[in-house]
Structure 1
Amino acid sequence: MGHKPEIRRLLPALRQAVTGHRLLFAAKTAAAAGLAWYLAPLMPGTAAAYPYYAPLGALVSMHPTVAASARHGLQSLLGLAVGIGMAFAVTTVAAPTALAVALVVGLGVLIGGLPRLGSASEWVPMAALFVLVLGDSNAEGFSFAYVLQMAMGVAVGFAVNWLVFPPLHLAGIDPAIAGHRSALSKQLKDMARAMEESWPPNHENWAGRSDELSRTAIAVRTAVHEAELSAKANPRSRRRASRIPSDLAGLRTLERLTFHVQDITDVLASVIWEENAGTSIPESVLDHLSEALEGTALVIEQWRDGDTGQLERQLAEAKEGVAELGDAITHAAAGDASVNAAASVAMSLRRIITAVSNAG
């Protein structure tokens, strides 16, 4: 009985780890390592005596995207070359003593800190250490074998990743965008309802929801970025990744919408709860403000939902609602009421509508 809570916590983590993409990636990595090991004894000269570096090369080159496989594989080989060169420089003046080991590792870590080295930074001290302590009297032959087997493994890993169902991460974009659209729409709807309640409103969860909006925005940005990376050097991208430019444009629009919704949130929270902030909204404006918020929420809800006609109708209604809000603000201002906060919200709503209209 005592183990059931731990099992319940473990199962979601296992489901997240053992996905279709992960199983395919594991199978491809295993196949690449096995193929590299099979080919390793065929390498010329002394390289055949060090077959274990071939599957290591395959392993380091396997990454969730084809472009990342090529980049990390080449960076690893660059790190090997730098580390081997450094080890040779040390062995010309010192035997593989504790001091020499400390020297090459320290220098390797320093060199690895140079900018733009990427994965190479991890391999510089490792390669130097291996050549120093394993190369012994045959450092040149060991270095040749090390680089050749690793290069072969990297080539095998890249080839397997490129040829066998190269990953194209497009499936996560639509759910991420839909989730963020829903969060933005809900935020505006909740604020619309708050304008209809007695102040201060009973429901105030919306006022502290900026972090949640930021998280869903980050999820969209991550999904689009991963899709963009996975399309690079990917033979499947010619047929299936033509949507990415549209998704990037959608991401930019969502970021603008998020900025304006958060700005509205800050303004209305200040109006309701900050007594000395100098912000207020005239009572004659509240109903129009609620309707404008609700209409704009429906615009965000309809955007990218596939029904262009419905979006056009909703845009027209939202524009009319914001125009009526503007008229109400003008009338309130004529009576010397403070309308700065209401005018700020109205401007943000107009910008949201414009951003969606331009995005199509």
Structure 2
Amino acid sequence: MLMRSTASTDPLLGSRLHIAIKAALAAALAWQIGNLLPSPMGDYAYYAPMGAVLAVHPSVAGSLRGSLQLFVALLVGAAVGATFHLLPLPGWAGIGLLVLIAVILAGWDRLGAERSWVITAALFTYILGNLDTSDFVLGLVGQVSLGAVVGLALTLLLPPIPARVARRRLDAVSTEVAEQLEGMAVVLRGQTDDPASAWLEVAREVLPDALRLRESYSDLDDALRGNLRAGRWRELVGRRRSEADVIERVAALVENLTYMLGEVQESPRPWLRIGGDAAQTVADVLDELASVVRRLVGDEPLQARDTEPLVQGVERLSALVRETVGLGEESFPGAAVVVSLRRILGVLPMPESDAIAPPITPLRDPSWPPRVGRRRRR
């Protein structure tokens, strides 16, 4: 049984216009300021807009980090190019050795996404700086750095907070998970003409979109660092991030449940008879779970009354499975479904109760969820 994947979306959708306007303004200002500088630096003003555009970033922290990495990469590359000017090598040998060393130096992790500028600066300096290497290095590094400062300043003054982007992705993933659960319920009730084909339509890879959801909130965390407007957003972002963590875990468990149910139903001895009492019970539980998933990302926190029908449904299904224990291996798929549902209950923010069996709390550690782009210090 194949799991079909859903299409991805642009992570900057919604803030793209903001970034484009800011980049255009930064480039224009950098060009104007760069032309006002005296010679020889002023002769290379065409590099200033490039630095401005490269420094414009969705977050202040990202803009500062990128600007510093760009500056260091340019210095390293320019130093390599200038050094090779002093070596008595034929052109082909100089280019080859220069690229070899520049590529090795560009492997420095601290340079991040700007590592390619080591090679670019080295080649520019070696090839274009034939007449006056020192003037070219000063113009290249100086103008690009000037542009980066302009881009950083505009990012600091006009920082975006892509909260709408993250919220739209949260809503989209929760809707996708809920629709998958509802689709399974429809198939189990026998409301489709061809159950085998219907399972293929229901099954999809939800986890990739859930991981992109995590990236959205990691980007949002990054956008709040150094942001002058961060104070009024922290509480809301913290709550939405918690919801996103839950949706991500639920999405992974639901994807696994979908895959398992589809395989079981396609086997020669299916556990559930489509449209039977057991299938109806499972379908009811899946519908209740879909309802809880939709409420989870609503404006109001999840209440006990929202989850009570789901908990009761899982208990009914557990009792049904216990009655089939004497059937041996035929009861295993039912037990697996109950375990999967209890794992999902363990993820949901639900009040504890002595009236039901405790859910299975998933493994957690202080580093969960892992944040994209962060490195552990050793």
When normalised by structure 1's length, the TM-score is 0.82
Q: 1:198 to 1:274 in 2, by over 3 A?
A: farther
Q: Is 2:196–2:266's contact at 8 Å kept on the other side of the alignment?
A: no
> Equivalent of 2:262, from 266, 269, 275?
269
Equivalent residue, structure 1, for 2:29: 35
Equivalent residue, structure 2, for 1:340: 332
Equivalent residue, structure 2, for 1:158: 152
> Equivalent of 2:238, from 242, 245, 252?
245
1:77 aligns with 2:77: no
1:220 Cα deviation after fit: 2.3
- Identity of paired residues, percent? 26
When normalised by structure 2's length, the TM-score is 0.78
> Which is bigger in relative contact order (C-alpha 8 A, separation at least 6)?
2
In structure 1, list runs of 5 or more residues that go unmatched: 1-15
Q: Is 2:304–2:351's contact at 8 Å kept on the other side of the alignment?
A: no
1:169 Cα deviation after fit: 0.7
Equivalent residue, structure 2, for 1:214: 207
Q: Residue type of the partner of 1:314?
A: D
Q: Residue type of the partner of 2:264?
A: V
1:271 Cα deviation after fit: 2.1
1:141-171, Cα deviation, whole Å (9 max, x unpaired)? 33223322222221111101211x2111110
Q: 1:170 to 1:94 in 2, by over 3 A?
A: same
> Equivalent of 2:127, from 122, 133, 140?
133
Q: Is 1:106–1:125's contact at 8 Å kept on the other side of the alignment?
A: no
Task: Give the structure with the larger helix fraction.
Answer: 1
Count of aligned residue pairs for this structure pair: 340
* Structure 2 CA distance for aligned equivalents of residues 25 and 198 of structure 1: 48
* Structure 2 CA distance for aligned equivalents of residues 168 and 324 of structure 1: 45
1:209-257, Cα deviation, whole Å (9 max, x unpaired)? 4434235424423432332232232222222243333233222211221
Q: 1:203 to 1:280 in 2, by over 3 A?
A: closer
* Structure 1 CA distance for aligned equivalents of residues 202 and 186 of structure 2: 15
1:45 Cα deviation after fit: 6.2
Equivalent residue, structure 2, for 1:260: 253
* Structure 2 CA distance for aligned equivalents of residues 297 and 133 of structure 1: 62
Provide the alpha-carbon RMSD of the alignment: 3.1
In structure 2, list runs of 5 or more residues that go unmatched: 1-9, 353-378
* Structure 2 CA distance for aligned equivalents of residues 308 and 29 of structure 1: 39
Equivalent residue, structure 2, for 1:303: 296
1:197 aligns with 2:205: no
Greater C-alpha Rg: 1
Equivalent residue, structure 1, for 2:170: 177
Equivalent residue, structure 1, for 2:371: none
* Structure 2 CA distance for aligned equivalents of residues 265 and 20 of structure 1: 32
Q: Residue type of the partner of 1:280?
A: W
Q: 1:23 to 1:308 in 2, by over 3 A?
A: closer
Q: 1:334 to 1:264 in 2, by over 3 A?
A: same
Which structure 2 residues correspond to residues 135-150 of structure 1 after superposition, within 5 A? 135-150=129-144
1:280 aligns with 2:271: yes
> Equivalent of 1:86, from 63, 80, 85?
80
Q: Is 1:284–1:328's contact at 8 Å kept on the other side of the alignment?
A: no
